[in-house]
Chain A
Amino acid sequence: MALHFELVTPAKLVRSEDVHMVVVPGAEGEFGVLEGHAPFMSTIRDGKVQVYKTEGAAPEEIEVRGGFAEVGDKGLTVLAEHVEG
């Protein structure tokens, strides 16, 4: 019961881990991704990606700029040009 989350920048693979939920600042509004999310693709506006390691835990925030999110069978992949934090 975990979502596989990957955060990739051109320079390196920043994160590759199993988490509970990720909230992504999509171009048309924030969306949360849990395990078993339907295949989905969206552009991201500049903002914070919130990573919930476990249910109810305080989210870890990662600032991303110029990004793109893809949800597939393998989990959530966020491609971002710049990552801070």
Chain B
Amino acid sequence: MASLKELKGRINSVKSTQKITKAKQMVAAAKLRRAQERAEAARPYAQRLSGVMASLASKVSGDGAPKLLAGSGSNQRHLLVVVNTDKGLCGGLNANIVKAAKVKARALLAEGKDVQFYLVGKKGRAPIKRDYADRIEKHFDTADVKTPGFDEAEAIADDLLERFENGEFDVAHLVYPIFQSALTQDPTVDQLIPVPAPEVDADPKDVASTGEAIVEYEPDEEAILEELLPRYIKTQLFGSLLEREASEQGASMTAMDNATRNAGELIDKLTIQYNRSRQAAITTELIEIIAGAEAL
């Protein structure tokens, strides 16, 4: 059995670990609220944009459609844009995202397609590198800013669009977590380029304002759509960054809550063990004294 001093040391070390996880949990809870607010605030823009996109995309189809909507005509080279977090301590979130990305990659490879990775965030690098070291196209670092905003989304989108223009890939998929609650974050794979025709918004008011009325366009539909598509992609990326942020904090909160509770249990167990050993030591001492007194 461990000595009293050893036990004491272990209890103290678990206690300081608990302090850290507790602090991280509270920080995550506070940040989660902010991240959720940001995600909420971004929704009107995304909704309006996809509403306009839907009504425009249905009008502009066939030969006149821009490349970003119609695709490059081939379906051979796929790019997986994987959005991971920059920091750890968030449970299985990154593992799940990577798993979803790998499943998609395997499916595409099985179909005989070329797959490349474009990694956003630090934590996806190591696990994807393990399996597909030669297929990683680029790391995009979001670690140097405190909260990734629209500027980062814009930078990623510009880079992607340039690669698409140069014909480096035909189809891009976006892999990112969707924040459901602090307990669940679903990794999702969405097609990013070519832009899938957005579904007509469920909000009847939006449909009425853009869909039915005869709308005048300036310049014309094609030109507007051409300008709108890159913006739509930026918005998608921005949305995924916000979702990632909320997911990270949510997952971190849950993971740290568990860790804090585990540490508490461990402390209880160790304390009982400590008290027992102390009691045993006292009893032994007493027996020795009594035995000594009786011998006199």
A residues within 8 Å of B by Cβ?
Answer: 8-13, 26-28, 38-43, 66, 68, 70, 72-74, 77, 79, 81-82
Contacts and interface: CB of A to CB of B under 8 A. Distances in A.
Contact of B217 (A41, A73, A74, A81): A41
Contacts of B224: 41-43, 68
A41 B42 contact: no
B38 interface: yes
A40 B218 CA distance: 8
Contacts of A8: 44-45, 48
Contacts, number: 86
Residue among A41, A68, A74 facing the most chain B CB atoms (10 A cut-off): A41
Interface stretch (B27-35, B101-109, B203-211): B203-211
B44 A68 contact: no
B149 A11 contact: yes
A41 B52 contact: yes
Is chain B's interface secondary structure helix, strand, loop, or mixed overall?
helix
Interface string B224-245: 1001100100110010000000
Nearest to B213: A39
Given A9-B45, A11-B38, A68 B238 contact: no
Contacts of B223: 43
Contacts of A42: 217-219, 224
B226 to A, nearest CB: 9
Contacts of A81: 150, 154, 231, 234
Given A27-B219, A39-B215, A42-B224, 10 more contacts: A9-B150, A26-B218, A39-B213, A43-B218, A66-B231, A68-B227, A70-B210, A79-B48, A81-B234, A82-B150
A70 B217 CA distance: 9
Contacts of A27: 218-219
Interface string B147-161: 001100110000000
A10 B209 CA distance: 21
Contact of A10 (B205, B219, B238): B238
Interface in B153-195: 153-154
B214 interface: yes
A12 B49 contact: no
Nearest to B221: A41
Contacts of A12: 41-42
Nearest to A78: B48
